[in-house]
Structure 1
Amino acid sequence: MRKYSYIIIDNDAESVLKTRIVAEGFSELTFIASATNYQQGLNLVLEHRPYFIFLEIDPQDSASNLSLAFIGELYRFLSVIPKIIITTVTKELAFDAIQYGVFDYILKPLTHVDLVKTLLKLEKVLFESKEQKTSVSESSVAILEENVSEVKITPFIEEKEQIEAKEEAPVIIQEVQIQQIPEKPLILCIKSYGDYRYMNAADICYFQADNNSTDIYLNSGEMVTAFKTLKHFESILVHPFIRIHNSYIINQNYISRIHNGNSVCYIKNSTKKIPFSKTYKANVDLIIANFSAGNYIEI
């Protein structure tokens, strides 16, 4: 029987325990570890490469920093993403979760039947994948046999003459150019009563919360208001956008300076200073680590 390792990432210790108790009822599931916040969870996944991740994306404690953005972060480091099983108390984020390609979406509390369905779903996916590979393999063999049956056997002398003729003929090497399709930039569309406002995500410096709406600041100095909460943007945006404060999400490509003493980030070509809080200090440390991991010299 194949074994599937898993990690639980949830800021609620009771939920972690309940999920683990249910999972232990399945001999094919092997527990590795659990984490209560974004950074701990990321470190565990990168170190152990589990098959499954049970992930909470709408925690009661925002300090854990858990959201769908965690999945986006995995794509920065891993070529093969673990199968994500969302475990949360509401259906509200189900559609957004689908956009991130999660394997399953389960409402808390997790039950034995929920995991039965998930493992049956996995079994079906693996079976269909195997069938597809077998079908492709059989088709290849059939084509090969068909081609072989069409080969004509020529006399040895004729074959020798053909070989000598080929050796005398000039060899023409045709250069094949592979056209690379450039990746399209992410476009953010802000809709309001039939008004569609488009902007390149790369032009956005930062997002600032304003009650139930969010102000979007562009590198041109322009500000656009969207009638969505900052938490909504946090759930759909991935690198280089990262939350550093209850009121701010920043595009780290526009950071020119980070002052830990004053707990502020400076924006390029601007006098604007964006504060960061202790709650999101781990994210600021991640930004610093990202800078140092590139083409970087520290003096």
Structure 2
Amino acid sequence: MQYSYLIIDDNEAHVQETLSAFEGFPEYYCVGIAGNKADAVNKILELKPHIVFLEVNPKKKNTGLSLAVITDLYQYLDRLPYFVILTATQKFAFDAIKAGAQDYLLKPLDRFELRKTLFRFQKTNPETVNDTICIRSYGDYQFISLHDIVYLQADNNTTDFYLTSGRKLTAYKTLKHYEANLPLFFYRIHNSYIVNSNHVSRINTGKSLCYLNNGEVSISFSKTFKDNIDTIIRKIAPEYL
């Protein structure tokens, strides 16, 4: 199982420090970075990360606004992501817990302490995603493993599923429906396509092409969904972003 995390920090050096600390944890990948409260709230709602690392700097006057990222989210979500506060002092520990944070790590990050935080997260957030999907065409119900889906293609108000076996199945629901309901390793990269990131074998940003199934299939991605392409690259090879 892979878990996504979001970093909220306006200091590039500190962001790189946090990313480097995760090099020993391949099951975790960075889904995005936000530098202010508005961007953070928008990205959490859009990307739905499992964990959010929020840096609080006591030298900045907007520290309260940083913690307000957590409280603001209660307007939109019944269940918040797992919030971990990063800071150089214990001064804000009480305020952080009161705001709804689940953990608190001191800077500079210690990998042993980060490991314990990640274990606590996994213990309190067991994975519950079903690994099958039902594709219905009229009265025909087909149960397909999510891992066998290479990509989905919109066809007016229906969606075609392309499988590793080479089969194509048509479901009578829109691509938008599946975008909202598929698990986090599926990414929309075009108005007409959703890909299973586990089957991505190559991305050519110059030609705006995404290659799947060991290069057997190539499909276009659009600028509208470039952030999702960056997320796939970050997930597979974080050292190149």
| TM-score, scaled relative to structure 2 | 0.52
The one of 255, 280, 284 aligned to 2:200 = 255
1:272 corresponds to 2:209: no
Give the direction of change, closer, same or farther, for the CA distance of 1:238–1:85 in structure 2 (3 Å limit): farther
Instruction: State the partner residue of 2:52.
Output: 78
Instruction: State the partner residue of 1:230.
Output: 175
Q: What code does the residue aligned with 1:272 have?
A: V
1:219 corresponds to 2:164: yes
1:291 corresponds to 2:236: yes
Give the direction of change, closer, same or farther, for the CA distance of 1:275–1:237 in structure 2 (3 Å limit): same
The one of 14, 17, 33 aligned to 1:43 = 33
| Residues 131-155 of structure 1 deviation map (CA, whole Å, 9 limit, x = unaligned) | xxxxxxxxxxxxxxxxxxxxxxxxx
Instruction: State the partner residue of 1:175.
Output: none
Q: What code does the residue aligned with 1:265 have?
A: C
User: Runs ≥4 in structure 1, deviation > 3 angstroms?
Assistant: 47-50, 66-69, 77-86, 100-103, 181-185
Question: How far apart, in 2, do the equivalents of 1:69 and 1:209 lie?
Answer: 21
Question: How far apart, in 1, do the equivalents of 2:217 and 2:146 lie?
Answer: 19
Give the direction of change, closer, same or farther, for the CA distance of 1:252–1:274 in structure 2 (3 Å limit): same
Question: How far apart, in 2, do the equivalents of 1:230 and 1:185 lie?
Answer: 19
- For the Cα contact (< 8 Å) 1:216–1:225, is it kept in 2? yes
Amino-acid identity (%): 40
Question: How far apart, in 2, do the equivalents of 1:211 and 1:182 lie?
Answer: 33
Specify which structure has the higher proportion of strand: 2
Instruction: State the partner residue of 1:205.
Output: 150
Deviation at 1:208, TM superposition (A): 0.5
Give SS of 1:214's match: strand
Give the direction of change, closer, same or farther, for the CA distance of 1:79–1:186 in structure 2 (3 Å limit): farther
| TM-score, scaled relative to structure 1 | 0.42
1:189 corresponds to 2:134: yes
Structure 2, unpaired ranges of 5+: 1-7, 9-30, 55-68, 81-97, 99-125
Residues 148-163 of structure 1: pairs in structure 2 closer than 5 A: none
- For the Cα contact (< 8 Å) 1:241–1:250, is it kept in 2? yes
Bigger radius of gyration, 1 or 2?
1
Question: How far apart, in 1, do the equivalents of 2:231 and 2:181 lie?
Answer: 19
Give SS of 2:147's match: helix
- For the Cα contact (< 8 Å) 1:85–1:102, is it kept in 2? no
Specify which structure has the higher proportion of helix: 1
Give the direction of change, closer, same or farther, for the CA distance of 1:218–1:199 in structure 2 (3 Å limit): same
Deviation at 1:231, TM superposition (A): 1.0
Residues 25-44 of structure 1: pairs in structure 2 closer than 5 A: 42-44=32-34
Instruction: State the partner residue of 1:106.
Output: none
Give the direction of change, closer, same or farther, for the CA distance of 1:67–1:272 in structure 2 (3 Å limit): farther
- For the Cα contact (< 8 Å) 2:201–2:215, is it kept in 1? no
